[in-house]
Amino acid sequence: MHSILTYVLAAGAGVVIAHFISRAPEMRARRPFQLVLVPAAMVLCVYFLPDTSGTSESAAMGELVCFAAMLGFLALLLGPNIAYHCGAALSNFLDPLDWTPAEEEIALRPIRRLIDKDQYYQALTELNQLLTKHKPTYEALLIKAKLLYHVGRVEETAATLLNLIALSNTTAQQLVVMELLASLEEHLQDPPEPPAPGARRIEIHHELILFPTAGGTAPPHKEIPPGTYAVEEILHGNRRWLKLAGEDWGNAQRCWEAILAIHTPAAAPQKKGFRWKIARMPQAITSAIKGKPRRQRQAEAQKLLHEANQFIRRDDWHQALPLLQKASACDPDHYEIAYRWVQAVHHTAGGAAAAQVVSQVLMQSRWTGHEQQMLHQLKHSPGQ
């Protein structure tokens, strides 16, 4: 007979093994019963461990059979987990993963539900936790800025809005940022220094909206592309602005500075070679049977949205429409894609066609109450 301590140690080892071997998200469904059955099987293995001292040959043979049966039971319990981890290790060896969780889309629906319940502080805390693990998006930072302003953190609100300029994909999105920044002007103070004389050249790496610095019949705004510009410092209503040299178009200095240091990351080198082709064969077969993986479809949707936004900036909705339709088919749960698709239909085919698309969009995913309201509004007026 074995001591009580031996059985306790066997059960503890079983719990540890079951916990670590089921830590992958794909194995979590098996974890509850494995945490019970694996320790029990480990205890029985110790109980039936053959002991040749003081026992008959027939009794030792019976213990050996029971011990082998328990080992087989353990193999059945842990076999799928072991096979999964071995397959994942082999796949990572043949084709190391070139993505990180930071590149996954941020799930904002739980945050919006907390906002609908007026739980603003909890929503802000959870959103900050998501932003530490994922790349920021326009929608996520816009929600964060509104939450920060709601809880009275004005300086952080302004800093978040300035970061939003670089994430704006359309003129309409950047105009929203500018309007929110304008509402904070009375809370923000520029250093009490006179404007520097003369012109200087600066390089921006993102589109920027400029506003007229003098009265007249000029348009309300215009957008300049990335490039190098000669600018001059001026005071515009007690605020330090930078305007184009020799022109009456400018914007706040802090807005120019927000896009000075933006650089487009270099594209990852294309993978080649025999080993890479072998590693891609199972995925190609699976894609042919089940279709493309969700992560790949989301990446394609993001690429199509980026291409469509280039046409939207030029008000070329006819060119953007098919791209947005394909993007929505790739990722039906992406709200911005769905919203832009309905906008494009409204601009090109009118409100009746947009109403049909809205009905289709509402059925293709589970939207929050606010998202549904915004989509319904597009039935009657074109989105901006």
Do both 372 and 299 map to the same domain?
yes
- Which pLDDT score is estimated for 103? 52
Considering the domain boundaries, does residue 217 fall inside one? Answer: yes
Sheet containing 249-252, strands listed edge to edge, beginning at the edge strand earlier in sequence: 199-204, 227-235, 240-244, 249-252, 208-212, 222-224
Shared-domain flag, residues 178 and 204: no
The distance in angstroms from the start CA to the end CA of the chain is 79
Which residue among 236, 258, 280 closes a domain? 258
Overall domain count for the chain? 4
Please indicate, yes or no, whether residues 69 and 125 belong to a single structural domain of this protein.
no
| Pair (301, 367) in one structural domain | yes
Show which of 141, 163, 187 is a domain's final residue: 187
Residue 122 tokens read as: 């909890």
Q: State which of 187, 222, 243 marks the end of a domain.
A: 187
Distance from C-alpha of 51 to C-alpha of 1, rounded to nearest angstrom? 9
Task: Determine which helix (DSSP H) or strand (DSSP E) holds 159, and give its type and residue range.
Answer: helix 154-167
pLDDT of res. 57: 72
Rounded CA separation 243/230 (Å): 8
Return the C-alpha torsion angle 157, 163, 165, 170, nearest 10: -100
Residues 203 and 181 in one domain: no
Tell me the C-alpha distance between 185 and 190, whole Å.
Answer: 10
**In the numeric block, which tokens belong to residue 271?**
């993978």
**Same-domain status, 328 and 351:** yes
> How is residue 378 written in tokens?
């597009």
Q: Is 63 inside a domain boundary? A: yes
Q: What is the pLDDT of residue 352?
A: 83
Same domain? 50 vs 117: no
Predicted confidence at residue 144, as pLDDT, reads: 92
Please indicate, yes or no, if residue 33 is contained in any of the structural domains: yes
* Residue 245, domain member (yes or no): yes
pLDDT of residue 266: 43
Kindly state whether residues 88 and 126 are assigned to the same domain: no
Output the six-digit token pair for 177. Answer: 């940022």
pLDDT at 265: 44
Residues 78 and 18 in one domain: yes
Chain centre distance of CA 21:
28
Q: pTM of the prediction?
A: 0.48
Are residues 120 and 178 located together in one domain of the fold? yes
Best CA proximity match to 71, nearest among 51, 54, 47, 53 = 47
pLDDT in the model for residue 382 = 46
pLDDT value of position 147: 92
Q: Which residues pair with 243 in a beta bridge?
A: 232, 250
Q: Are residues 300 and 370 in the same domain?
A: yes
Burial class, 354, CB count within 10 angstroms (exposed 0-12 / middle 13-18 / buried 19+) = buried
Flag whether 279 is in a domain: no
- Residue 314 is part of which domain span? 292-377
- 164 located within any domain: yes
* Mean pLDDT of successive 10-residue stretches along the chain, which has 384 residues: 81 88 78 87 84 66 84 88 85 60 68 88 90 86 91 89 88 89 78 75 88 73 87 83 88 86 47 58 59 75 87 86 90 87 87 85 82 75 47
Say whether both 12 and 69 belong to one domain.
yes
CATH value at residue 364: 1.25.40.10
Residue 285 is assigned to a structural domain of this protein = no
* Residue 276: inside a domain: no
CATH assignment of the domain containing 133 = 1.25.40
Give the whole-angstrom CA distance, residue 142 versus residue 175.
12
